[in-house]
Structure 1
Amino acid sequence: MNKQDNFRKQVKSFYSVLVVSFVMVMLIGVLGIIYMMDPSAFTLKGDEPNSEVIGVSTEDEDWDKIENGIHLRTGFKDGEGLMTVVNNCTNCHSAQLVIQNRMNEERWTETIRWMQKTQNLWDLGDNEKVIINYLVTNYPPTSKGRREALTNIEWYPLKE
């Protein structure tokens, strides 16, 4: 076999790998689109999601169930304005992101303005006051100070 035939064989092999890779990427993309349109298309008959794993029932009547003062789907505390917060805040990010950011009224207002300016958050209208009141009431800022001094510790010398 001469050099030219060897080169043609390598090019043919390369294009074969390239075509197979392209087909695989396209197939994965199509399957992803189908899954986004109808996730149930990928469940086997009788294979229902295990709602206990995430702690939320998949039945419609339990979708917004509150137990022990906690909205099960999001983890938000029950309170006035809860569903307004759920409907406006969890469209773009998780409830945990909201819960971990404990702020006062002024900081929440600044954060909302930032999201409107940079993240395409819509005008909340009258809902803004309801949302801020809910968050300030249920997730107020916590003061974090220095940790307590260490006590009852057995110190040992370090060997050099």
Structure 2
Amino acid sequence: MKKQNHDKVKHNVKDLFRKIWLVSVILAIVAAALIYFVKDSNLSNEPDTEIVDMPVEVDFDKIENGIHLRTGFIDAPGMIETIQNCTNCHSSKLVIQNRMNAERWKSTIKWMQETQNLWELGENETVIINYLVTNYPPKKVGRRAALTDVEWYQLKE
């Protein structure tokens, strides 16, 4: 039953991406046609000017000081697999704040697969867990530091 649901979801996702791709192609064709006809119609009385295409560089995977700028992940082996498999569904900040050991990461991944439609990670599961445990290990401190320098008082009954 679970396999059938997974296959159905996988099919629906593929179908959605095909539709998105088709709409993108149609929009690109319409945009190209509009540009062609508007340029040739010369609607203004201004003389034609030369348009110079300036290259626009967008580096989505830029790393500075060992940090992947878009996600905030530490640049280390397994980072790309973690980005590709985790940030499709949620923010990298959610991953970074949940510092767990390998056993807890494995059970969290299993929970996401059973309840949140996470796909099978295959060999990437070990790579991702190793990356997270190595770079975001559990913190040894509790939720907050112990209270100090507090003047305690007795409640009156």
- TM-score norm. by structure 2 comes to 0.57
Corresponding position of 1:115: 112
- SS of residue paired to 1:107: helix
> How far apart, CA to CA, are the structure 2 residues paired with 1:80 and 1:149?
39
> Which one of the candidate residues 52, 56, 59 is aligned to 2:57?
59
Query: Residue 46 of structure 2 corresponds to which residue in structure 1?
Result: none
Q: Tell me the number of residue pairs that the alignment of Structure 1 and Structure 2 aligns.
A: 101
1:47-86 aligned at under 5 Å gives the runs 59-60=57-58, 62-86=59-83
Question: Which residues of structure 2 form unaligned runs of 5+?
Answer: 1-23, 32-55
Q: Which has the higher contact order (CA 8 A, sep 6+)?
A: 2
TM-score, structure 1 as length reference: 0.56
Counterpart of 1:3 in structure 2 is: none
Q: Does 1:140 align with 2:137?
A: yes
Deviations 1:19-78 (A, max 9, x none): xxxxxxxxxxxxxxxxxx68xx9xxxxxxxxxxxxxxxx833x21010011100000111
Deviation above 6 Å: which 4+ runs of structure 1?
none
Deviation track 1:123-152 (CA, whole Å, cap 9, x = no partner) reads 00000000000000000001224624423x
Instruction: Please tell me whether Structure 1 or Structure 2 has the larger radius of gyration of its CA atoms.
Output: 1
Same amino acid, percent of matched pairs: 65
Matched, 1:106 2:103: yes
Q: Give structure 1 stretches of 5+ with no counterpart.
A: 1-36, 42-57
